[in-house]
Amino acid sequence: MRLARLALFLLFIASVAVGQFTSKRLPKIVKVRPSEFPELPANLLQELNRRHCMIPQLPKRSNIKRQNVINGEFAKAGQVDWAVLCSSRGRTGRILVFWNGSELNPSTVDVGRLGLYTSIGPISEPFITKQHSTWGPFINELPTEIDHQGIVSGSDSQSTVMYYYEGKWLTLNRTITAIY
């Protein structure tokens, strides 16, 4: 009888433990409409709405108010371009780069499945050069002169440095591993 009670007790504990692990969900990625970014030019706001773009945000504990809409000189020095991390279907995303602020023919870079901490930011020549020397070569060879900004895209487990050169994105990927 004791053995039967012990077996039932262990079975109960096991079912509770399994229930706890399987009932936990991943935190929901918060996404906002492009209209939450008043700095976006009207033509880009209209294009993002046409594409049903939602912009993922970092968890509220982040000290950055809004993320994933950036501007910079991504094609050439002196030209102001806009980049937006856009999600229109579930947890997948892509970066749309609007050259010279034009909604016509944006460059699209797929980033795949969005993580809770997926974000983009502009990067300058010193950062690009340092990452190139630290992580190893870009998939395509990095030009000898970096004369405009790039974009860094980071997530829970991957970081990608992107530099636009001669009509294509040069990329450098790094897998981030957590140590527990």
Average pLDDT of the residues in 63-71: 85
Residue 142 carries which side chain, given as an amino acid letter? L
In a domain, 19, yes or no: no
CB neighbourhood size of 35 (10 A): 10
pLDDT for position 4: 40
pLDDT for position 61: 60
Average pLDDT of the residues in 6-34: 53
In a domain, 7, yes or no: no
Mean per-residue pLDDT of the chain: 78
pLDDT for position 174: 63
pLDDT for position 138: 54
Residue 78 three-state SS: coil
Cα torsion through 76, 81, 108, 135, rounded to 10: 60
In a domain, 11, yes or no: no
The domain total for the chain is 1
In a domain, 10, yes or no: no
Domain ranges, residue 78: 30-175
Distance of CA 16 to the CA centre of its chain: 36
Which tens digits make up the pLDDT trace of 113-156?
888 788 999 998 888 877 766 666 555 566 778 889 999 998 76
In a domain, 87, yes or no: yes
In a domain, 84, yes or no: yes
Instruction: Please indicate whether residue 5 or residue 152 has the higher confidence score (pLDDT).
Output: 152
In a domain, 9, yes or no: no
In a domain, 39, yes or no: yes
